Amino acid sequence: MALAGAGGRLLRWPRVLLFGDSITEYSFQENGWGAYLAERLVRKCDVVNRGLSGYNTRWAKLILPRLITESTSADSIAAVTIFFGANDSALKELNPKQHVPLEEYAANLKSMVQYLKSVDITADRIILITPPPLQESAWEKACLAKGDKLNRCNATTGQYAQACVQVARECGTDVLDLWTLMQKNQDFSSYLSDGLHLSAKGNSFLAAQLWSRLENKLSALPSLLPYWRDVDHMNPEASLL
């Protein structure tokens, strides 16, 4: 038996795509910044987590065209966050697999933004996010526990953050400079769980900063189905199809 109203228009929610490394992948955990966005946008947008732990921009730029293609309706993408750099900025001599040179990192970010623009995702829908600061003593403990040496340093991460800000400026996109914002609080270690990844406080901080940039863009989007009290219970087809 066919469902009543099966001929109705297919419902498609706009998508917010979160593209990044482990800090994005973990963002749907309890109290994560991605989960915060999803909660704020429920019934308005699908928040899609495309975080890939350990990935850098060299690998990400190869994947992006497989996530958003020319056949993807530009209207269906409400916003895209690009959040890489924590792995690119790993020290080459100690972590050559993840390390990406600074100039290439900037070029890769620019390439990804240009690709999105080429498939009609406008600059005002793209937000670049810099890597957060690195708390070296905590991250060194995490490295030593795995039998490794400290393979990142905060000053280097800061160079990559500055490059990210510069790319955003050149490409006309918004940017969330976590590296700088988090260090306005002198003891930024409370934002990090292990010196590299975000703690609950860090997730909350990022969520608030990101929402302040997305709210004007997305909060005005309509709910695609009416509030239940507004459904005509005598003739639901009139309200829902």
Catalytic residues: 22, 194, 197
Q: How far apart are the first and last CA of the chain?
A: 19
Which two three-digit tokens encode residue 229? 């009290």
Number of H helices, E strands in the chain: 9, 5
Query: What distance lies between CA 47 and its chain's CA centroid?
Result: 10
Decide: residue 41, CB within 10 A, 0-12 exposed, 13-18 middle, 19+ buried. buried
Q: Which residue has the tokens 């929402």?
A: 211
Distances (CA, A) of 7 to 13, 48, 190: 18, 27, 53
